[in-house]
Amino acid sequence: MKITGSKAIVLSLLQEEVDLIFGYPGGAIMPTYDALYDAKDRLRHVLVRHEQGAVHAAEGYARVSGKVGVCLATSGPGATNLVTGIADAMLDSVPLVCITGQVTSSFLGTDAFQEIDILSITAAITKWSCQVTSAEEIPSSIARAFHIAKSGRPGPVLIDITKDAQFGLLEFFYSPCKEQGMQVFPSMKVNSSLVKEAAELINRASKPYLLVGHGVLIAGAEKELLNLAEKAGIPVACTLLGLSAFPTSHPLYMGMLGMHGNYGPNVLTNEADVIVAVGMRFDDRVTGCLKNYAKQAKIIHIEIDDAEINKNVKVTVPFLADAKQALQELLPYIKPKNHPLWLEKFKQCAELEFKEVVEKEIHPSEGHIKMAEVIHSLSAKDDGKAIIVSDVGQHQMVTARYHAFAQTNSHITSGGLGTMGFALPAAIGAKLAAMNRQVIAVIGDGGFQMNIQELGVISQEHLPVKIVILNNQYLGMVRQWQELFFESRYSCTEMHNPDFVKIDEGYGIRARKVVDRLHLNEALDEMLEAKEAYLLEIVVEKQHKVFPMIPSGASVSEVRLK
């Protein structure tokens, strides 16, 4: 019996074990939405309030669940509204399948109503994309899309399906894709000679250093990473997206790398004699000035994407492999060792940073509430076990620095693209992926207003997401740069904000505003104990600056404490 292309889309998604999609209907995708009506008991659709919310929600769902996130949009503006989220997923290696409707194939190229060449627009920010113009192509295109999205280094793919293909008829047959195309980056067998060379470097090192990125979480290699660090006695630091891959309470954990990372992990990079980089890509926020980055070190780079090896930093031993696979191969050759003098250097740096920065941030004696004291208190109250979804800006760096992540895969944020407006919809996806865990979105007043409409999803779906707005009435990170590097010329960064509590109450969501630190702990308790969604707005210091900081273009050894 023949079925329509729109029903084939739904059946193909079910064959890929998809049970949740995010989207927004419109003319060119309407046949597929009609087919969803008959599958609503098997395939849950979450109606977002803007297509950017759909793709960020799909990202949050994929990051927490480990599955491929799926979103639907119509043609024209519906499709173009996905672009920022697709780019975000590409840079942060998030597996997504984005399906867009398109005008009838006979109208292609005529500038028809809501026609847009979305394949050309997204060519640089997808692993693969295709346009489907006949119903018969739908099952194989969807099968290939899922295979490419989740294989090797994950990422987003896009399928653009014309309206007549959705109406067309086909004999439905679905076969999962197993082909290995160029863009898939399949796992490679680890070269045994490289394994022995890397092990020898680690065994002989006096100042070894483990740099941990998002690839460890994607590969599920946390246990192997921990075993390597403990066996070889190597200090560990995480990138922003690598946070929660290694327990923050572990004595070998030294902190976060990067522009606003911890002092020791940054400054001691240029003293390490062997660096083992696992699932990270040496981006500029981690390396600072490349010509001065770790010139003294032998570098072992474990990375699944060959385009990242030797791209920014010349490496000694390249591992083109899945992180879990590579660490499993490496571990038997590693000799037990300790490095007390090297670890002592990290300890001394941590003590200096605590004295100069941390103590006054988490235990202020006077003045306005500080972001760091909020996050420090929140971390203590949730035992570091909540899934924290942060937006982009000062609060993002403070959250990364001061929340103690005690459970793996607990930190979701926009890294490579730095997308303001990410956190609220991503927290929706994260919560739907982990209904049994506390999900807390930490957002600045600027980023919150970029996708504020997604409060409607939280209300309609009855999702107990917790939202903390750290309101400093500024675009805080831009203001910090203006103060430090543009002679305090605060151009277009001060914000006149609405009453966030009233807006939330309008959506039927509990809300509270805190101005005085005397009420901070009580308000945090009330939020965490709430069984339903809750927004807590906390008015924080307006002219706060996040330190340490590596100025743009400076070396990691030039990190500033003030």
> What is the structure's pLDDT at 180?
53
Count of the separate structural domains present in the chain: 3
Q: Which of 182, 208, 231 is the last residue of a domain?
A: 182
Whether residue 372 is found in the same domain as residue 474: yes
Spatial distance between the Cα atoms of 319 and 332, rounded to a whole number of angstroms: 16
Please tell me what DSSP assigns to residue 561: -
Domain of 42 in residue numbering reads as 2-182
Secondary-structure breakdown of the chain: helix, strand, coil percentages, each rounded to the nearest 5: 45, 20, 40
**pLDDT tens per residue, range 475-498:** 999 999 999 999 999 999 999 999
Amino acid identity for residue 448 in this structure:
F
**Where residue 278 sits, what CATH number does that domain have?**
3.40.50.1220
Annotated catalytic sites, by residue? Answer: 51, 113-114, 163, 477
Per-residue tokens: 533:
């969604």
Query: The whole model's pTM is what?
Result: 0.95
Whether residue 300 is found in the same domain as residue 391: no
**pLDDT tens per residue, range 304-360:** 999 999 999 999 999 999 999 999 999 999 999 999 999 999 999 999 999 999 999
* 388, 411 contact by CB (below 8 A): yes
Instruction: Give the model's confidence band at 184: pLDDT under 50 very low, under 70 low, under 90 confident, else very high.
Output: very low
For residue 527, which phi and psi values (nearest 5 degrees)? -65, -50
Whether residue 372 is found in the same domain as residue 235: no
pLDDT value at 185 more than 80: no
**pLDDT tens per residue, range 433-444:** 999 999 999 999
Mean pLDDT of the chain: 95
For residue 350, which phi and psi values (nearest 5 degrees)? -65, -40
Q: Which of 163, 182, 201 is the last residue of a domain?
A: 182
Whether residue 290 is found in the same domain as residue 317: yes
Q: Is residue 558 part of a domain?
A: no
Whether residue 321 is found in the same domain as residue 203: yes
- 136 CB contacts (<8 Å, ≥6 apart)? 168, 170
Q: Is residue 351 part of a domain?
A: no
**pLDDT tens per residue, range 535-551:** 999 999 998 999 999 99
**pLDDT tens per residue, range 192-226:** 889 999 999 999 999 999 999 999 999 999 999 99
pLDDT value at 97 more than 60: yes
**Where residue 105 sits, what CATH number does that domain have?**
3.40.50.970
